[in-house]
Amino acid sequence: MQTILFVEDKDSMAQMLRETLETEGYRIIVAADGQKGIRCIRDSHLDLVLSDLKLPKKDGIEVLKAAKAENPLMPVIMMTAFGTVETAVAAMKEGAADFITKPFDTDILLAKLRAILARRDFQSGTKDIYEIGKFIFNARLRTLTIGDDEKKLSPKEAQLLELLALNPNALISREVALKKIWGNDDYFTARSMDVYITKLRKFLSEDPRLNIKNIHGSGFQLIISE
């Protein structure tokens, strides 16, 4: 089930759209202001964010930036009142996947959701469950399990492990990993990624057949020995 965060301060709108989307099979998290929306982005595993532009405490642009900071691949649809299209266009320059103008036809919103989520799944090639040696990795729940031991991974740890799991024994370049997960490849994000690689290597050390090999100056390989 795909999870959508809906950030909307008007309770009637939030409940109406929540019921509609849940009927369509989505799991909906509602946040009544931008600050709560940003907290949900950091604490929840989301597939898409749907946010109004005009919100209390933190506006929709700040919600958008928080979503992109947490996961550069996170699709965000902005909702805007009629007559503020220029603001929505500005939001798209910040990385929004699309925008929809209020009042809107629910069928149009549903069509946008399906198209954007399908495109995201195709581009990322993601699935939920991976077998990595003796481990079971649930990318959606961000859990790494071996036997009765289950670890909860951070969003960045999970994204990095999923990238490696999608390409076992293949070289993942540092630049590709940094831009895909962090959005840039500067020195500070590179050092941050090294810390995450070290953590993942430690997690996987319980299976001696697994190793994340550092190819100096090039990238990393998730080695799975027979």
In the block, residue with structure tokens 């929306």? 37
Calculate mean pLDDT across residues 46-50.
Answer: 91
Same-domain status, 120 and 139: no
Cβ(92)–Cβ(67) under 8 Å? no
Calculate mean pLDDT across residues 96-113.
Answer: 87
Residue 148 is predicted with a pLDDT of 85
Q: Please, which residues bridge with residue 160 across strands? A: none
Instruction: Decide if pLDDT at 96 tops 80.
Output: yes
Instruction: Decide if pLDDT at 85 tops 70.
Output: no
Instruction: Decide if pLDDT at 81 tops 80.
Output: no
For residue 73, give the 3-state DSSP assignment: coil
Q: Which of 2-11, 86-95, 178-187, 205-214 has the lowest mean pLDDT?
A: 86-95
The three-point CA angle 139-220-207 to 5° equals: 60
Q: Which of 70, 96, 124 is the last residue of a domain?
A: 124
**CATH number reported for the structural domain that contains residue 185 in this entry:** 1.10.10.10
Distance of alpha carbon 193 from alpha carbon 183, whole angstroms = 12
C-alpha dihedral over 24, 25, 31, 35, to 10 degrees? -110
Same-domain status, 112 and 59: yes
Same-domain status, 99 and 149: no
Residue 84 is predicted with a pLDDT of 61
Q: Which of 53-67, 89-103, 144-158 has the lowest mean pLDDT?
A: 89-103
**CATH number reported for the structural domain that contains residue 77 in this entry:** 3.40.50.2300
Which has the higher per-residue pLDDT, 225 or 85?
Answer: 225
Residue 126 is predicted with a pLDDT of 54
Residue 141 is predicted with a pLDDT of 83
Q: Which of 68, 90, 124 is the last residue of a domain?
A: 124
Residue 1 is predicted with a pLDDT of 67
Calculate mean pLDDT across residues 186-199.
Answer: 90
Instruction: Decide if pLDDT at 131 tops 60.
Output: yes
Residues 6+ apart with CB under 8 A from 65: 94
78: containing domain: 3-124
Same-domain status, 67 and 24: yes
Distance of alpha carbon 7 from alpha carbon 24, whole angstroms = 18
Domains identified in the chain, total number: 2
Instruction: Decide if pLDDT at 49 tops 90.
Output: yes
Distance of alpha carbon 182 from alpha carbon 171, whole angstroms = 18
pLDDT band at 102 (very low <50, low <70, confident <90, very high): confident
